[in-house]
Copies of this chain bind each other. A is one copy, B any other.
Amino acid sequence: MIPNLNIVPFVSVDHMMKLVLHIGVERFLTELADYVEEDFRRWEAFDKTPRLATHSAEGVIELMPTSDGRVYGFKYVNGHPKNAREGRQTVAAFGVLSDVGNGYPVLMSEMTILTALRTAATSAVAARHLAPPGARCMAIIGNGAQSEFQALAFGALLGVRSLRLYDIDPGASEKCMRNLRGRGFDIVPCRSTEEAVEGADIITTVTADKQYATILTDNMVGAGVHINAVGGDCPGKTELHRDILMRSDIFVEYAPQTRIEGEIQQLASDHPVTELWKVMTGQAPGRRSPRQITLFDSVGFAVEDFSALRYVRDKVAGTGLYENLDMLADPDEPRDLFGMILRAAKPAAAPARIA
């Protein structure tokens, strides 16, 4: 796949869309979920650096690196709530995968679409361990950019067939219904969160741009439900009433990060939570009883991006769905970087000059 030392394959937005269509979105989500679970099962192998955030009045730009000792990955991602009002994505991202042995990048990829896919795949992976067995009905509160990916991941990985949608903007629910047409879902648009959660085995909250909102209050959540809380993902941004958290068994990706960014920022810093990888490896119980409320407090972690980049690297090979970027200077003689510049000049009668 890499013809020359100087070349880094780049998966553009257009190529990522074609790759998703080529593989099929449900299969993409299912296979990606396996990569995520595989990496969560070897959680202790990863270098878990905190993300490096540069804050400004308008938003944040973050670098999220991680490494398993052989492969290194990082994601660049911004978060600017006002962008949506200017026709830009609130969150845009790209990422790089590198060889730890020589430090050279082996893949660069858009990650705006890929992050949406990995977030949904991770939610479904968590639900595989936490949702009540036989769950078929999911409420989705917030029907924006992430909603269809969540629906498709839960459909493909858990067999969810019935969706109950609610958004403060009915147009968002209509868009979600329209996009999911023909994929085997029975979809009910609802006029309130209360109506949407009626009879749901799984409640997914994925609203945007809210400051300490209370999307779900305590009385809405019945026994046995699994809550997939995706929208509360930065300091000051939460979706669930504190009382729900107190009644739930809480599962997180990486506790030090989730305590700052997740729903549990509302709780004491020593409130017990379980890291998901411990459930997957059998070191901690997942769902223990039919009446238990389980909560996956998802904020997104660098290891998931690493899994997603690994998956794309493996799948894109042989498809032609990438460009070759001439990104790494590769002189014939490593010590002769300046000579390489001289030799790039058009051959002239006299020795190469750059005057």
Copies in the complex: 2
Q: State the Cβ distance, A178 to closest chain B Cβ, in Å.
A: 8
Q: Are A89 and B13 in contact (CB under 8 A)?
A: no
Q: What 5 A-B pairs come out closest when comparing CB atoms? A: A78-B103, A112-B329, A148-B338, A17-B344, A12-B326
**A9 beta carbon closer than 8 Å to chain B:** no
Chain B residues near A41 (CB, 8 Å)? none
Inter-subunit contact B56/A67 (CB<8 Å): yes
Contact B327 A5 (CB under 8 A): no
Q: Does A349 contact B (CB under 8 A)?
A: no
What is the interface residue range for chain A against chain B? 35 or more
Asked, given contacts A102-B78, A103-B80, A344-B14, whether A113 binds B65 with beta carbons under 8 Å apart, the answer is no
Whether the Cβ atoms of B25 and A94 lie closer than 8 Å is no
Task: Specify which chain B residues have a CB less than 8 angstroms from the CB of A18 in the assembled complex.
Answer: 344
Given A102-B86, A337-B145: A69 and B56 interface contact (C-beta under 8 Å): yes
Report whether B72 and A74 are in contact in the complex, using a CB–CB cutoff of 8 Å: no
Residue with the highest number of chain B CB atoms closer than 10 Å, among A5, A146, A149: A5
Q: Report B-chain residues with C-beta under 8 Å of the C-beta of A89.
A: 328-331, 334, 337
Residues of B near A61 (CB, < 8 A) are: 65, 67, 72, 98, 100, 103
Question: Interface code A229-248, partner B: CB below 8 Å = 1, 0 otherwise?
Answer: 00000000000000000000
Q: Which of A47-55, A131-139, A264-272 contacts B (4 or more CB under 8 A)?
A: A47-55
Residues of B near A3 (CB, < 8 A) are: none
The residues of A with any CB-CB pair to B shorter than 8 Å are 5-6, 10, 12-14, 17-18, 20-21, 24-25, 47, 49, 52, 54, 56, 58-61, 63, 65, 67, 69, 72, 74, 76, 78-80, 82-84, 86-90, 92, 94, 96, 98, 100-105, 110, 112-113, 116, 144-146, 148-149, 172, 175, 178-179, 181-182, 325-331, 333-342, 344-345, 351, 353-355
With known contacts A110-B329, A148-B338, A329-B92, A344–B21 Cβ distance under 8 A: yes
